[in-house]
Structure 1
Amino acid sequence: KRQRNIPQGRPLPLPRLLSSLDNAQLQSIILGLTERHPQLLGEVQSLAPRPTITSSISVLHRLEAAVREAFPYGGDPAGDYAYNRVRPCLNELLSALMDYTPHFLPPHEPHFDTSLSFLDEATHIIHRLPNWSNPLHNISKRQAYEEMCGAWISVFRDAIGKSSGVGLVRGGWVEKVEQHNEVAGGRLGSVVEYLRGEVGWLRAVEQQQEQQGG
């Protein structure tokens, strides 16, 4: 009789092994490899697809949802107990926000409309951050607004250099920043002042032309 081939155990092929892992496991493996072999870091970064606004905001929204879910049931939602429960998730959200924002700033991001669309969404997230009874616990939100001010001005400066501000005025970005500043209680005032000083005249011309055309 012909002897049967008896299969022997063997590890999964790498593509099949990777397909069975979830995102957290893949991330852990890649980070572990780059920590052991720092020379791989640049190669991994060059091979990874560039994050989009959609994918980046999706991550931030997921972290924002974790903040909401961390609040305890009942009690004072602005008190110290709630803050201590929420703080780890809140810090994770703020850390991610500060990591993603420079990715969408010039010169790394050459298209100012992409930069501004991200900043618009990111600023909305900051608006929704919790407010606490203890003023010390609100420092991180104030700092987030300060960081966002610098980011907005950086993009506006780049956009004005490329298009003299025409795209900003016609895109309604002056009005959008003014609305953000109102919601933020004036914390984006430096951005509004900068933008009015740079493109205020152009905005007035556009409005006059609209009135004459109407």
Structure 2
Amino acid sequence: MIESPPALKRKQSVDIDSPMPSSGPPSPSDSSDAGADQAKVKRVRTTAEMVSKKKTVSKLIATLSASQLVHLVTALVDTHPQLADDVASLVPRPTIDRVQSHLVFLETKLQEAFPYTKWGPGRDDYSFNRVKPALEELIENIVEYTNHFTSPPEFPTTSFSFLHIAAECCNRLPNWDSAANNELKTSLYRSLEEFWIKTIQDAASKLEEGKIFGQATVREWANNLDQHNYNSQGLFSTAVEEFKSRLGWLLGFPPSTPHYPNPMSTASPHNTGNSNNNSSNGINGNGSNRRLNGSSMSNRRIVGHILNNGNGGNN
């Protein structure tokens, strides 16, 4: 009987999908690659979380009112004082129009703080104490914004424009029955005069650097300053003298006169008298109303010793 040959065993095929047998422990490069992949995944996840948080904060801020936003930023700076400079650099510089609107709001707030009487707002101590917080808030804002608009990089034209607004606002403050209560207003006038002097000196420095101011512009500055010196009962007289000394030559006034008469020398700084009595209170000193460039100036008195072509206000 013939025996069949033994069947040949089928050679095991190599499965390309099966993992290769490990020939040893993983190399350091394999471990570092795995660690890098994990770090990348974590970094992507962290970035996504940060973006999500920023979007959430942005949406929350968008719902805040202006006053709430001010409170939020103020609280943030109070908690982290080191952020003050960063916040200040990011906040857009205020414009005169916006600040003027804010001051009007504070003036309205002051008027609304007066206790109601059938005779209108009182000027006694009781009324003063009721409105004092609102009054102090308004004065504080006037001083702070005046300092802002009279500091670099603001140009003198901007500074003089805001000084006029600030002085008008000061003039509208209540006059109280008590002299002690009026000290807040008087002190504000004195602070504003310092800002006027500072701006006059800045304008003079700009002239020395070659800057040019139109004569009509300088006339307006002089008229505004004279108006506020009159309204403040002479509290701006030092600023008037500084204006004559530093800028008067632009209006024909001699640039090097050794002495200028005190524009309020004939009037007590605490007595306004009759506003129509120019002979006793007038800066012009001649009892007459003048005209500038053909337009009536009956509502504001002109710095005669500046505008009278160097004759010191004497005809």
Q: TM-score range by the shorter chain?
A: 0.7 to 0.9
Aligned partner (choices 177, 180, 196) of residue 136 of structure 1: 180
Which segment is superposed worse, 31-40 or 62-71?
31-40
SS of the aligned residue for 1:137 comes to: coil
List alignment gaps of at least 5 residues for structure 1. 1-9, 209-214
By how many angstroms is 1:51 displaced?
A: 0.8
Aligned to 1:65: 108
State how far apart, in whole Å, the 2-side matches of 1:72 and 1:156 are: 41
What percentage of aligned pairs have identical amino acids?
Answer: 34
1:164-191 deviation digits (Å, cap 9, x = unpaired): 6962743121122111111221111111
Does the CA contact (< 8 Å) of 1:166 and 1:202 recur in 2? no
Matched to 2:193, the amino acid is C
Alignment of 1:1-214 (within 5 A): 13-74=56-117, 77-106=122-151, 108-163=152-207, 167=213, 169-171=215-217, 172=219, 173-204=221-252
By how many angstroms is 1:207 displaced?
A: 6.5
List alignment gaps of at least 5 residues for structure 2. 1-51, 254-306, 310-315
Does the CA contact (< 8 Å) of 2:200 and 2:246 recur in 1? no
Matched to 1:162, the amino acid is K
Matched to 1:65, the amino acid is T
State how far apart, in whole Å, the 2-side matches of 1:195 and 1:163 are: 13
State how far apart, in whole Å, the 1-side matches of 2:92 and 2:85 are: 13
What TM-score do you get using the length of structure 2 for normalisation?
Answer: 0.58
By how many angstroms is 1:163 displaced?
A: 2.1
State how far apart, in whole Å, the 2-side matches of 1:55 and 1:19 are: 20
SS of the aligned residue for 2:176 comes to: coil
What TM-score do you get using the length of structure 1 for normalisation?
Answer: 0.84
Does the CA contact (< 8 Å) of 1:103 and 1:109 recur in 2? no
Q: Which structure shows the bigger proportion of residues in helix conformation?
A: 1
Does the CA contact (< 8 Å) of 1:80 and 1:134 recur in 2? yes
Question: What is the alpha-carbon root mean square deviation over aligned residues?
Answer: 2.3
Which is bigger in relative contact order (C-alpha 8 A, separation at least 6)? Answer: 1
Which segment is superposed worse, 168-177 or 29-38?
168-177
